[in-house]
Structure 1
Amino acid sequence: MSLHLLKLCVGAESIVDLEEWIAERQAQRRARGEPAEQLHTTRMVPKKIEEILSGGSLYWVIKGQISARQRLMDIRPFTDADGIGRCHLVMEPIVVPVEPRPFRPFQGWRYLQAKDAPRDLSEHGGDLGEMPEELRRELAGLGLL
């Protein structure tokens, strides 16, 4: 069973914000002649890399709710110019909306067991995926989703 990571998506107001940020960063990387992969830099390196890379995703908390995920492709520890150990999380640039679930703020990232991860909206069976994100967010906040 795979293991996931959970992280705050600081600065994003919505899934659309996250998708636009990804597209912008990829365009900047292409303009510099770098691979158009999506990287997210963290300070700590996950210890359970093999479990995460066996199908794990990074779940994003946007405005107090787990809202979306991206499949993790690689985890690359490195040392920055100041000699500080850091880590690049390499993600598939496809953002998958998930069933919104409230989650309190935290620092860094957290492990998320597969059994505790919210389902993708596409697996929901109803019209939840067609509902505007803001309405989904509000209904989830009221405990109606």
Structure 2
Amino acid sequence: MSNKTVNLIKLSVGTESVEQLAEWQTLRAQKSVDGFTFHTTRMWPKREAEILNGGSIYWVIKGEISARQRIIRFDEKIGEDGIRRCSIVLDNEIIPTVSALKRPFQGWRYLTPDDAPADLPKGRDSEEALPVELNRALAEIGVI
């Protein structure tokens, strides 16, 4: 296995908050075989070994990276249409991150550990986020 690690970043389309993401995933995990939540996508990551070496999926909610989940494994899923898909199996713990602005994009992208926002320190997940305009202005001048 490689000693490098890489993460994925993905838009959480239709999600308004980390809490809503958690609620949706709890319902999904109840329907899974092993109790883990998952996200299914068409593409299989070429950097699978690096992702499985401690990588996470970072969720973009309403234009901001807001949380991450550790990626446990990738499962092959064949749809009713016969098309092979990749099921990204996730740890059930959702870890809030320091907010970081992210423009919309299609599918998922790789995210290096150096570019990933830090986890929010324990106990700070209930703090109110900065107003979007202030957060955007700080990001533009490189403060956050």
Shorter-chain-normalised TM-score: which range?
A: 0.7 to 0.9
Cα deviation for residue 109 of structure 1 reads 0.2
Cα deviation for residue 90 of structure 1 reads 0.3
Give, in whole Å, the separation in 2 of the partners of 1:129 and 1:72: 21
Pairing 1:40–2:32 present: no
CA RMSD of aligned residues (A): 1.9
Cα deviation for residue 118 of structure 1 reads 0.4
Q: Within 5 Å, which residues of 2 pair with 1:1-145?
A: 1-27=4-30, 29=31, 34-122=33-121, 128-132=124-128, 135-136=129-130, 138=132, 139-143=134-138, 145=144
Give me the identity figure in percent.
43
Cα deviation for residue 142 of structure 1 reads 4.0
**How many residue pairs align between the two structures?**
136
> Counterpart amino acid of 2:84?
G
Cα deviation for residue 77 of structure 1 reads 2.8
Where in structure 2 are there 5+ consecutive unaligned residues?
none
**CA shift in 2, pair 1:37/1:137, >3 Å:** farther
Counterpart of 2:130 in 1: which secondary structure? helix
Q: TM-score, normalised by structure 2?
A: 0.85
Q: TM-score, normalised by structure 1?
A: 0.85
Give, in whole Å, the separation in 1 of the partners of 2:8 and 2:101: 16
**CA shift in 2, pair 1:130/1:80, >3 Å:** closer
Where in structure 1 are there 5+ consecutive unaligned residues?
none
Give, in whole Å, the separation in 2 of the partners of 1:130 and 1:67: 13
Counterpart of 1:87 in 2: which secondary structure? strand
Give, in whole Å, the separation in 2 of the partners of 1:51 and 1:19: 26
Cα deviation for residue 122 of structure 1 reads 1.4
Cα deviation for residue 68 of structure 1 reads 0.3
Give, in whole Å, the separation in 2 of the partners of 1:47 and 1:35: 25
Give, in whole Å, the separation in 1 of the partners of 2:9 and 2:131: 18
Counterpart of 1:140 in 2: which secondary structure? helix
CA-to-aligned-CA distance 1:70-125 (integer Å, 9 cap, x gap)? 000001233322121210000001100111111011110000011111000118xx
Give, in whole Å, the separation in 2 of the partners of 1:130 and 1:46: 33
Q: Which has the higher helix share?
A: 1
Kept in 2, the 8 Å contact 1:100–1:137? The answer is no
> Counterpart amino acid of 2:35?
A
Give, in whole Å, the separation in 1 of the partners of 2:131 and 2:56: 21
